[in-house]
Amino acid sequence: MKKYVLTCLIFMLFVWSSSGYAYPERFDVIIDVGHGGIDGGTVSPNNMLEKDLNLEIGKKLYQKLMDQGYNVGITRLRDYALSDDSRLGIRSRHLRDLTQRKLIADALKPKLFISIHMNAAAKESRRGPLVIYQASEKSYAVAQLLQQHLNEVYKMKKWPLKGKSYFLMKHLEMPSVIVEVGYMSNPRDLAMLTDEAMQTQLVDAMAHSIGEYFLVYPVD
């Protein structure tokens, strides 16, 4: 198992050296970019793939938080299936993917783990952001902030959801949330999610929330 953790660390080192940042001693935030490679995630009515939107928004959030001085890691910076790295002999590709994400979190031990996803529903009218949290005080705190500030961008009032049954929520030791940024099945949401200026607003709202969270629970 160590070998694969090492692969992750080498990858992270590459990310840092190529971006001109020194490898940090500690990680404040890991941004987990959902899906990738063979796993496209949700598909919009016009055939856009969730994995691509997750990457666009995840990369923007990564850059924004780094600019603010946080030590940030990201699980992928390109279109890539994390399950391909797994040599654990797990038959389910989905479980291999999630296990790799957990290994990265276990190795880097961030103060916060944020998974970026897009939602979809059979009912086209469903829309808005949804933050899913781990059953812990800190996880709930950051989820509330994220939900509140994303609600402001959407001009909606929605509540975060406890995610007991989600693999990452169950197995990660640090506060962790899944941010379902919007519904790809809803035309209004999809227009927002694919608009450069709106993406920036959504990312600013998330970065702001994370900043507020670290005021309450400082990194050191």
Nearer residue to Zn ion within complex by CB, 76 or 117? 117
Nearest to 200 by CA among 54, 75, 56: 56
How far is the C-alpha of 152 from the C-alpha of 89, rounded, in Å?
A: 44
Would strands 176-183 and 130-133 be described as parallel, antiparallel, or unpaired?
antiparallel
Q: Is 138 helix (H, G, I), strand (E, B) or coil?
A: helix
Nearer residue to Zn ion within complex by CB, 64 or 117? 117
* Contact status: 175 vs Zn ion (CB under 5 A): no
Residue with tokens 């987990």: 32
Query: Which span sits near Zn ion by CB under 5 A: 23-31, 35-43, 158-166, 189-197?
Result: 35-43
The CB-of-50 to Zn ion minimum distance in angstroms stands at 5
Nearest to 136 by CA among 181, 177, 108, 178: 177
* Contact status: 187 vs Zn ion (CB under 5 A): no
The CB-of-34 to Zn ion minimum distance in angstroms stands at 4
Nearer residue to Zn ion within complex by CB, 183 or 214? 183
The CB-of-8 to Zn ion minimum distance in angstroms stands at 21
The CB-of-166 to Zn ion minimum distance in angstroms stands at 11
- Phi-psi map region of 177: left, alpha, beta (phi>0 left; psi -120 to 50 alpha): beta
**Both ends of the chain: CA-CA distance in Å?**
29
How far is the C-alpha of 125 from the C-alpha of 123, rounded, in Å?
A: 6
Instruction: Return the residues of window 94-153 that contact Zn ion according to CB under 5 A.
Output: 117
DSSP structure class, residue 133: E
CB-nearest residue to Zn ion = 117
Nearer residue to Zn ion within complex by CB, 111 or 117? 117
The CB-of-136 to Zn ion minimum distance in angstroms stands at 22
Q: Measure the CA angle with vertex 105, ends 104 and 111; round to 5°.
A: 145
Nearer residue to Zn ion within complex by CB, 34 or 58? 34
- How many chain residues are in contact with Zn ion, going by CB under 5 A? 3
Residue with tokens 């959030």: 61
* Contact status: 41 vs Zn ion (CB under 5 A): yes
Can you tell me which of 29, 34, 99, 130 binds Zn ion, judged by CB under 5 A?
34
Tell me which residues touch Zn ion (CB under 5 A): 34, 41, 117
